Structure 1
Amino acid sequence: MKRQGIRKSCLMIALVSCSIAATADAAGIENQQGVLDGKYISTAADCVACHTAKGGAAFAGGYAIDSPMGTIWSTNITPSKKFGIGDYTEAEFARAVREGVARDGHHLYPAMPYTSYGKMTDEDIAALYKYFMTQVQPVDTPNKETKLPFPFSVRSSMAIWNLIYGDSKPFVPVGDQSQEINRGNYLVNSLAHCAECHTPRTALMGLDSSKPLAGSPLGPWYAPNITADKVAGIGAWTDDELKAYLRTGHVAGKAQAAGPMAEAVEHSLQYLSDADLNAIVAYLKQTKPVGADGAKPRDGYGAPADSETRLRGNAVRDADPGWKVYSATCSACHGARGEGTSVYPSLFHNSATGAAYPANLVATILFGVHRTIDGHDIEMPGFGPQASYTERLTDQQVADVSNYVLANFGQPQKKLTADDVAVARAGGPVAPLVKLSPYLLPGAIVVLLVLIVIAIAVTRRRRAYKKG
């Protein structure tokens, strides 16, 4: 009897132990899945691109973001308790990501795209927090101080801006749309924050909600129209072309990613699942078309040109100065006829040379192309400030070769000047609000003085009225 009791007890203990082990394993799997999800969400949100300095530790900050107001330094978002987010609670983390308010209450600048991240779901915020707190290594790298000129230096003013442009309501699927399109909507407008670059800005530098994804200047670059319009946007692209571009940054005879888009492809988009890339494509192809002037899509312009072979070897004293630059600097890679190679793209049927705004052509010549896809580097050297002295082009030379390329391979009616190139070299057009900023302080002082004078006059009048 005792042996039977002992056997029963052992059996019960074994069953309970197995049950506990199974529960623990299930909890471990769930916890690990949350971490994996958090890492994927971080990749989709492209956190590493802005929060990692060149040659620095991942997520340790120190990356210079060139905004219209000046340089904004990204912060350390590792779980360092001294310089990072190690002391953040999940609620404080969520507030920083969604509302742009740090743990100590100071406002973040919208270079951190919290206006898009505000739509992140509670589940994704929780998974992202778990990933940063448990899987990212803490790095005790001090944050660099962002010093913007007045009035942009007054961070508290962002509270008013946020009332106008902020939206911290989590994404809610649209009932009459498919699961795939809803997923694409969430990726485009929240995690991947496409609107932050591709939507025009208002006078106060908030997103213009009347023209979503219709294209916008981005420093010296131009983020093109990615609505479903078949001429101005990506409506004429096939699904496979659009997916390939998101995955690799390259579609032969159509487009190649450079500048900020190359960074997005390199650090984020190439790592998304096929299902998520398909969802982005499905969503973009059904967006409201936003048109613009243009007879055909930006990748539909140009044809091979024979001017390089026709002029080479002849007396060229009075030849097109743009051809001279092209012959000496560009033709070895892009071909005498602009046909390109298996490595370097064709210059005709190219969205940079056929675009309504040739900003990307100029920026590419100045700053080059740099992206790493599937471990392979895609490089085109820039001929601007970072080039060696012997390869550096002047503003006039960049304007000349740009006009040659536009005339032969793109939109010939587009003309650029050395002044246009100088603006691009300096970081792009200055926003109207930034142009007004030097007058805001004097203007505020004048308004204050006028209010004081009015207050004094009113006070004196009241006193005189009482005496009377």
Structure 2
Amino acid sequence: MKTFIKIVASLAVLGAIALGVIIFLPVSRTAPLSALPADYQVPEGHGKYVMRMADCKACHTAEGGMPFAGGRAIESPLGTIWSTNITPDPENGIGNYSLDDFRAALYDGVEPDGTHLYPAMPYENYRKISEQDVRALYDFFMHDVTPVAEKAPETDLTFPFNQRWGLRLWNWLALRDAGHKDLYDDAVLDRGAYLVDALGHCAACHSPRNAIMAQDGKNAEDSTYLAGGVIGGWLAPSLHGENSAPAKWSEQDLRDYLSTGRNSQSAVAGEMTQVVGESLQHATDEDLHAMVTYLRHINGKSPGDTVADKGDDDANAQPDATTALLASADPSMPLGPRLYLDNCNACHFVNGKGADGVFPEIDGNSLVTADTPNGLIDVILNGAVLPSTEKRPARLAMPDFGHRLSDEEVATLATFVRQGWSNDAPVVTAKQVAAIREKTAE
């Protein structure tokens, strides 16, 4: 017993020492990654373009709120984190930030007073942004954004996650060296990697999380890189692997999806709607080409590689069991297919293939077959709206069905589409539907 007490006491002392070390660790701020001439001037319009590629507006603008004034709720496993005001207002925003302060927030997640930002701010990725782009962002926010004298809601997580000093240890464990490394002897691939890894911070959503909730995969050298993640309960599908979209889609389909939010296979929903609407639709043709080339390259695709034409396949294929059942319109068919015919068939058709660029496919759709059905349930209950983009301005909308379908009916319909055609995903329960209905009704 005495030995046990000594062990416990020793562990307590060691824990207290470790806690003290963490608390009193100096707050580190990464210096500029490269030197620029003293008379360096940001090229006109470059700051706004970098802001768009970094997707700053989507997270830092509340629905119906002033641009960049914060107040957008970001759901995390720890609780709700509220985005901050990043307008140049001196009291409520970043108006008093120096360039070094601004860089420290981007690279290290540290505010001027030493407060640590929660990693919902993707500084794991932003610490790869070049000095030229850091300067451009700073110039844009200080000179081109209207100050908003409005304080964003305070993030108030439960203990122990409200103890931000603990993020010093998290940063020490999670962060890799700052800077973006060129991995290829190809300027297009290196530019694509920079856009995906640094500015676009795609891994923040599309890579899984490890035991300490850091991104488990930050570049193509990692096996888990872009292997799929979960954000706000929705699946962010894999972008890396034989079943990923960049591996299965044509170059044009991938380009269309990123720039317009729709293609011959699928359409955006959830957070990706904001990404396309506020960010990717504004990419230059050169940058869009670089991203598509890079995403296809890491999936073993070379420029010019094509995929089989699905029209030819469909024309020669015999109707599968699901298609045959729906086409029969048999009055005695189970509830699932009857609900599909009543609510979904007009747009997505009996073969689940939808209409190219208008109604997405259901057969093989990653949202439909995701391990977590939350996204599918949300879309059935609340509908979805495609972003209006310069290339595809029509704001197409899927209606909501939550007002006309019960929890049990939504679960039955969702289970049917998750297991119809070539899909093979687990069933959906009424309890899962009720939870999403309650959450989205707030």
Alignment TM-score, normalising by the size of structure 2: 0.78
The aligned length equals 380
For the Cα contact (< 8 Å) 2:364–2:423, is it kept in 1? Answer: no
Query: Which residue type is aligned with residue 328 of structure 2?
Result: R
Q: Does 1:307 align with 2:325?
A: yes
**Counterpart secondary structure, 1:34:** coil
For the Cα contact (< 8 Å) 2:340–2:413, is it kept in 1? Answer: yes
Which position in structure 2 is the counterpart of 1:380? 398
In structure 2, relative to structure 1, the CA distance for the partners of 1:233 and 1:426 (3 Å cut) is: farther
The offset of 1:86, in angstroms, is 0.5
Which position in structure 1 is the counterpart of 2:354? 340
Aligned pairs (5 A) from 1:24-103: 31=41, 34-103=43-112
Q: Does 1:265 align with 2:276?
A: yes
Aligned residue among 196, 207, 213 for 1:199:
207
Aligned residue among 104, 118, 125 for 1:109:
118
The offset of 1:56, in angstroms, is 1.1
Distance in structure 1 (CA, Å) of the matches to 2:233 and 2:425? 21
Query: Which residue type is aligned with residue 287 of structure 2?
Result: D
Which position in structure 2 is the counterpart of 1:238? 250
Aligned pairs (5 A) from 1:387-466: 390-391=403-404, 393-412=405-424, 414-422=426-434, 424-425=436-437
Aligned residue among 331, 338, 342 for 1:328:
342
1:125-168 residue CA offsets vs partner (Å, 9 max, x unmatched): 01110111011111111121111111111111111111111246
For the Cα contact (< 8 Å) 1:79–1:87, is it kept in 2? Answer: yes
The offset of 1:194, in angstroms, is 0.3
The offset of 1:97, in angstroms, is 1.1
**Counterpart secondary structure, 2:230:** strand
The offset of 1:218, in angstroms, is 2.0
Distance in structure 1 (CA, Å) of the matches to 2:378 and 2:422? 16
Query: Which residue type is aligned with residue 203 of structure 1?
Result: A
Aligned residue among 274, 295, 298 for 1:287:
298
The offset of 1:309, in angstroms, is 4.5
**Counterpart secondary structure, 1:250:** coil
Query: Which residue type is aligned with residue 197 of structure 1?
Result: C
**Counterpart secondary structure, 1:172:** coil
The offset of 1:426, in angstroms, is 6.5
The offset of 1:359, in angstroms, is 5.0
In structure 2, relative to structure 1, the CA distance for the partners of 1:156 and 1:35 (3 Å cut) is: farther
Q: What fraction of aligned residue pairs are identical, expressed as a percent? A: 38
Q: Does 1:186 align with 2:194?
A: yes
In structure 2, relative to structure 1, the CA distance for the partners of 1:413 and 1:60 (3 Å cut) is: closer
Which position in structure 2 is the counterpart of 1:387? none
Distance in structure 1 (CA, Å) of the matches to 2:172 and 2:86? 26
| Bigger shift: residues 371-380 or 397-406 | 371-380
Larger Rg: 1
For the Cα contact (< 8 Å) 1:99–1:168, is it kept in 2? Answer: no
In structure 2, relative to structure 1, the CA distance for the partners of 1:413 and 1:125 (3 Å cut) is: closer
In structure 2, relative to structure 1, the CA distance for the partners of 1:334 and 1:276 (3 Å cut) is: same
Distance in structure 2 (CA, Å) of the matches to 1:167 and 1:382? 43
The offset of 1:354, in angstroms, is 5.1
After superposition, the CA RMSD in angstroms is: 2.9
| Bigger shift: residues 177-186 or 399-408 | 399-408
The offset of 1:336, in angstroms, is 4.7
Distance in structure 2 (CA, Å) of the matches to 1:69 and 1:156? 15
**Counterpart secondary structure, 1:284:** helix
For the Cα contact (< 8 Å) 1:79–1:136, is it kept in 2? Answer: yes
**Counterpart secondary structure, 1:72:** strand
Q: Which runs of 5+ in 2 are unaligned?
A: 1-39, 301-306
Distance in structure 1 (CA, Å) of the matches to 2:44 and 2:408? 52
Distance in structure 2 (CA, Å) of the matches to 1:203 and 1:378? 40
**Counterpart secondary structure, 2:182:** coil
Distance in structure 1 (CA, Å) of the matches to 2:433 and 2:208? 22
Distance in structure 2 (CA, Å) of the matches to 1:400 and 1:102? 49
The offset of 1:407, in angstroms, is 3.2
Q: Which runs of 5+ in 1 are unaligned?
A: 1-29, 290-295, 385-389, 429-468
In structure 2, relative to structure 1, the CA distance for the partners of 1:39 and 1:413 (3 Å cut) is: closer
1:216-266 residue CA offsets vs partner (Å, 9 max, x unmatched): 122331111111x333452232222211111112121x2211111121111
Query: Which residue type is aligned with residue 150 of structure 1?
Result: F
In structure 2, relative to structure 1, the CA distance for the partners of 1:127 and 1:284 (3 Å cut) is: same
For the Cα contact (< 8 Å) 2:363–2:421, is it kept in 1? Answer: yes
